[in-house]
Amino acid sequence: MSALKNPSTWKVPVLFAAAALLAVTGVLLLVVDPGPTAPRADRPAPSAPPAEPSTPEAEPTRPSAPAAQDTTAPDEELSASQAVPPKAAETARSFVSAWAAHDARPGRDASFSDAGRRAATYATDGFADRLRDPGDRSVRLWQQWVTDKTHVTCAIDRVATPDGAPAATAARAYVRVLYTCTTQSAGQQPARSHEQIALELHHVPTGAWRVGALVNA
């Protein structure tokens, strides 16, 4: 009873009890608190960023395998790219080879019309009649060729659809022929010239292609 009446006698035990309680609380906080780096239970932990590929040195890009070599002749390649029907291109070649070739040597052609008659084989009926007609071809030039024994041959360089011309159909095709003429006269060096001509070809009932006109001629 004397202890209860004297405050100085019970302050010390109370202080010791308070200090012990604070120590225990601190220990519990350290055990329970996971620290600021622990993820919250109600939020998924962020996924780790994808690992970057290890590139100690830049690897050179390997060149792709070379394409197969195209063995198509230049004129055939151009014909295919411009959608000229193969049979039409063949007729155009034959026509120009006959129409542009002349032979004024003795016993050969009698005039420019001989070339027209040869070319008429590859023309429609109406256009073939025009080709056989001598027309207004220069007689004077032909006489000079006869004197010089001139022989003209031509080689086809390319066949294609003319720029801006309609695409070929099953009935009609427009064709440009590029060719090289070689003119050889007796005792002279041959002369070469590069020429071109545009043709209109028709698919006739027999199934063949025939030249129906010289475009812009």
Q: Which fold has domain 74-214?
A: Nuclear Transport Factor 2; Chain: A, (3.10.450)
Cα separation of 113 and 119, whole Å?
10
Cα separation of 121 and 187, whole Å?
33
Cα separation of 92 and 97, whole Å?
9
Cα separation of 132 and 50, whole Å?
83
Q: In this predicted model, what pLDDT tens digit does every residue of 39-76 receive, in sequence order?
A: 444 444 444 444 444 443 433 333 333 333 333 344 44
Q: In this predicted model, what pLDDT tens digit does every residue of 69-124 receive, in sequence order?
A: 333 344 444 434 458 999 999 999 999 999 999 999 999 999 999 999 999 999 99
0.75 surpassed by pTM: no
Helices (H), 33-85: 74-81
Following DSSP, what letter does each residue of 57-68 receive, concatenated?
A: SPPPPPPPPPPP
